[in-house]
Structure 1
Amino acid sequence: MFHVFAEENIQHAIDAAAASSSSKVVRVHAGTYFPKQTSQALLHLTAVHDGVVLEADGDVVLSGTHSGPDGQTGTTDDVKVNHVVYFGDGISSQTVLRGFRITGAQPGTIFDQSEPPLEPRSRQRELIPGMFFYLDGGAIKIFGRSSPRIMELVIDGNESGLCGGGVSIEHRGLHDQPVQFTSCVFRNNRCPATGSAVDLLEGSLATFENCLFVNNVGNYGMDRIQREYGLSYNAQHGSGALTVFPDSRAEVNRCTFSGNWNGVDDHGRGSVYRNTIFWKNDASDGSRAGDPYEVDVMDASGLRDCWIGGGVSDLRGTIDRSQNRVAAPDPEFDEEFRPQRQGLEDLGYRPLED
């Protein structure tokens, strides 16, 4: 096992574990770890790192920003990265990220391949980085054939330059397995466009088990993005904390969405939503003509045993009312978003200590 303590270099330990024939486990001990220079990512795991298990021991913070001399973030002296953690092509489910808090990502500043490149250069068209490679995924960017297991993370207070304020998944149709999120909290993440917490770009696949999505906000920069990049998506109502693009698929079980600017928008086919609570996802700055909503799902055939209420519950009218509670009453959350209402014992997120 490889150990990393405060002020030491996590990436060096990841590289050593990747080269080791005896141990692939990197244990990072309590402290805050931040970038020392502006670059693509604080930590990167590509094909050579497949099988590395990166786990936190105690309160470990991975920050996307190192503040300037005055100690305040948001200054011209900030050291920033495009993504706090990057998972590249060739990562299987044997690669694990567990137990960290990831915070402080700000819109990236690096838009060309560093030397050596973050993602090894490929002649395969699907693996040539584009705009979304750089601008999306403040906390975590997942690219190409990449299916890590991400467990027990708190992803909070991150912002990206375009989409996926928390996480961006860009499989480009190359996935063999889904990215797996288990017992993760997505809180207070922001992006000007789609998927304020998690964005599944076209041809991507992910599963979410016992995850909490709360107070994530997107959509606030759509007018600017249309002017600058010619991009427009869900212009009337905006996108959700979780955005699933066409040809992508999500499986969501026992999760909770509350206080976000919209819950879920899913334009894919075959997604599954089970035992999940959507409640008062009504944050908005008024810049979209339409009201915020809980669920905007084109193919709702996989939506079962969900509790949906607090506003516009079913934007498209696709949800089977006989299989779900729509326009549902208050689930009566406690301070950690456990529903206290009788009958909801098997629905929604529960903190790990439960």
Structure 2
Amino acid sequence: MSETVRQLSSRRSFLAGLWAGIAAIFGTMKPKSTRAQTPSPAGGKHHAGKAGIHPWIEIGQQITVDIAIDGEVVAHLDHKAVLPGLKKLPAVVFDLPAGLKQLQLRGSFIDAEGRITTFTRTWTVRDIAEASAPLYDQTRPLIERIRNFAGMSELVQLDAPRRDGGVTAEAAFRKLETRLGVQLPAPLRQILSSADINVEDSSFLSPPNLVAVTELLLSGWGYTRSGGDIALDKLVSATVLARYDRSVAVFVEVGDGLGALAWDPAGVTSGEPPNTWGDKGNPGAQPSTPNDGVWFWLHQEHISEPELLLDDDYRPKDAEAALIHVFQRFCLSQIDSPESESELVIDSNLPRNLLQLHFEDPTKPKLWLRSYDYHYSLY
């Protein structure tokens, strides 16, 4: 079943279950820039997260923008595109005051020929923080956070952990670690030994079924090691194949083709391509904590380019962030769509909301949340 069809077919029941769960858990609830010239918010207001604006305009085009929240200018953006596409790092970052209701952009658009057009556009803000709250509750263990989120989402199902062939989780972990010469991240051990976790048609692998990525591709996805049109040594580079040989697949995606979340214990080499969509001219991955490895997504549609999960400094994200990413990508992505062109969705639980700024024409800026976007997310 395609990802688009799955999202549309489950959206209505998901939202109903989601908001019912929110009411049960939380009760009835009422719904600065990185640049030197950015003014600070006035009056010592309480902040609910941050936002970063990521412009996507053509090379040579330029924008000058004042960013106002509930009538108060909180940041200023000057940006000229020198590379195509969307950048991982924002052009400006600013605080989101708690309870904000409107965000406005007003400024000018300069095309590559120097023609100037002014614009003003206002969005009503909707915060989905109540929906995401269980996942980001740092006071609770990861598995409990997943359980609480599953309790309000019909997309996530948790069952008692499976013992395939009567093998315990600990025995399965030790067998795999000995065979591959690795030590699995503690958060992964915790959630896989505590529950059998399914996200619609996709699922985390049970401890006895954990395998190296190459083994998954050969046994479950129909690839061959060599020989034929779908031979791995023909489709991927020697470097990528070596990564697949040593990496552990932990979550299998069933949608438009097959995909997986995996962990490479060797980590990254300095400057290697992240393979994320867009973000031209990035510095490449940067080594981080030794022995932590790197998490990545792979998919049949781009089997030769695994997408690395990196933070804003291009260093590997930790295991907990990578595991939460599954629910961001497959669940929260289904509730972050605006209900009209004049609505801006944010999640004040996020350290920074990634807001893409694009222009349908010089007078019509479009701004929307990309933090949970399945295909083109930059988180």
TM-score range, shorter chain: under 0.3
**TM-score using structure 2 length:** 0.23
Which structure carries more relative contact order (alpha carbon 8 Å, separation 6+)?
2
Which of the two has higher C-alpha Rg? 2
Give 1 or 2: higher helix fraction: 2
**TM-score using structure 1 length:** 0.24
